[in-house]
Chain A
């Protein structure tokens, strides 16, 4: 295949002809070692622990480079050590690298099980109560929920989503819409630049409760807080927000048989 391109537009046009079935265009996030090193240098690991849960907080944005081995977990750890001599301040971030290592080890232990639930659901419902397909309104960012539609739009445009947004979206799909985690995981894999079956599918299972001791859910207060109110302010569904309840009420509504 070709390796010389006059511009990024030229590359995109070439790839469209070579992969005519692939949806969309290039991401604004660039591939390659040079881009990876720029992102790594720009990452302020010291701010990570305190702000990482906010959509506008400091996160590394290294996941796509790690997924494709442009950078390695060991290499990023070494980079931090070289720069700061000591990792004590960076426990949360090193733990995040370790999560990726952990998912890979789980995947390697049972590669053929990555699309199967590791454990039974703890939602009080059997898997047969969950729909197999992700509905078109979710896939097309047309649910009328500003948050979920924004996440899908960002995912499809950039191939990246903040981890908290991934968790909210997964909880919405699996628990609020009662759709099988596999449908959401497959949707993510077709778009995420960092999509790998280990981190992606096992995180979906963590939310679904097939790889955790209880289902993960969120409420409006949580989403509004960590998105700094930006998503809820102009939401067309703000008067009938399905997430506007206490955790206790949501649990009773979503999991009445538990």
Chain B
């Protein structure tokens, strides 16, 4: 199996799969969204407890550099609804084998779920959510 690294994104600041790991502060996004220092500091404190290299800049460039420095051709990361992260994942997939894993779901719901209102979702989710 080819060598792999783990790209930790900001919705999964917990121990990863035991691979060399990197987190990148997306400086352009932080500026655009005017992130206060509190938000950055909170994430930083989470990262300090983890075995992860912390970088800042353009995530696509930084993750690619990190992977290259480890001689890795595979990048593992988690699925995210964030369109900016999704497009960064797509860019990385041009140069690397990108493996996007699914996070553990809160409840397993099969088939189509009506998301028009919470009440409709809850009709389906309440059973599995409350079940021991």
Q: Kindly state whether residue B111 has any CB partner on chain A within 8 Å.
A: no
Q: Kindly state whether residue B1 has any CB partner on chain A within 8 Å.
A: no
Whether A12 lies near B81 (C-beta < 8 A) is no
Whether B34 lies near A74 (C-beta < 8 A) is no
User: Which residue of chain B lies nearest to A105 when distances are taken between CB atoms in the complex?
Assistant: B115
Q: How far, in whole Å, are A19 and B41 apart by their CA atoms in the complex?
A: 10
Known: A88-B130, A195-B39. A189 touches B33 (CB 8 A): yes
Whether B12 lies near A109 (C-beta < 8 A) is no
Residues of A within 8 A of B33 (CB): 186, 189-190
Identify which of residues 13-33 in chain B touch chain A, using a CB-to-CB cut-off of 8 Å. Answer: 13-14, 25, 27, 30-31, 33
Whether B11 lies near A16 (C-beta < 8 A) is no
Count of inter-chain pairs, beta carbons less than 8 A: 169
User: Which residue of chain B lies nearest to A84 when distances are taken between CB atoms in the complex?
Assistant: B132
Whether B42 lies near A31 (C-beta < 8 A) is yes
Known: A27-B41, A27-B42, A32-B49. A102 touches B121 (CB 8 A): yes
The residue among B39, B48, B113, B125 with the most chain A CB atoms within 10 A of its own CB is B39
Q: Kindly state whether residue B95 has any CB partner on chain A within 8 Å.
A: no
Select one of B81, B103, B130 contacting A94, CB under 8 A: B130
Binds B, one of A64-72, A176-184, A249-257: A64-72
Whether A72 lies near B103 (C-beta < 8 A) is yes
Q: How far, in whole Å, are A193 and B115 apart by their CA atoms in the complex?
A: 26
Known: A101-B125, A159-B39. A31 touches B44 (CB 8 A): yes
Interface of A is mostly: helix
Whether B36 lies near A23 (C-beta < 8 A) is yes
A contacts with B, residue count (CB < 8 A): 70
Report A84-109 CB contacts with B as 1/0, cut-off 8 Å. 01111001001101111110111111
Q: Kindly state whether residue A39 has any CB partner on chain B within 8 Å.
A: no
Q: Kindly state whether residue B107 has any CB partner on chain A within 8 Å.
A: yes
Q: Kindly state whether residue B61 has any CB partner on chain A within 8 Å.
A: no
Select one of B56, B83, B118 contacting A112, CB under 8 A: B83
The residue among A99, A105, A196 with the most chain B CB atoms within 10 A of its own CB is A105
Q: How far, in whole Å, are A34 and B14 apart by their CA atoms in the complex?
A: 11
Q: How far, in whole Å, are A95 and B93 apart by their CA atoms in the complex?
A: 37
Q: How far, in whole Å, are A216 and B51 apart by their CA atoms in the complex?
A: 44
Q: How far, in whole Å, are A102 and B119 apart by their CA atoms in the complex?
A: 10
Whether A30 lies near B11 (C-beta < 8 A) is no
User: Which residue of chain A lies nearest to B41 when distances are taken between CB atoms in the complex?
Assistant: A26
Whether A107 lies near B129 (C-beta < 8 A) is no
Q: Kindly state whether residue A15 has any CB partner on chain B within 8 Å.
A: yes
Q: Kindly state whether residue A42 has any CB partner on chain B within 8 Å.
A: no
Using a CB–CB cutoff of 8 Å, the interface residues on chain B facing chain A are: 10-14, 25, 27, 30-31, 33-49, 54-56, 81-83, 86, 103-107, 113, 115, 118, 121-122, 125-126, 129-130, 132
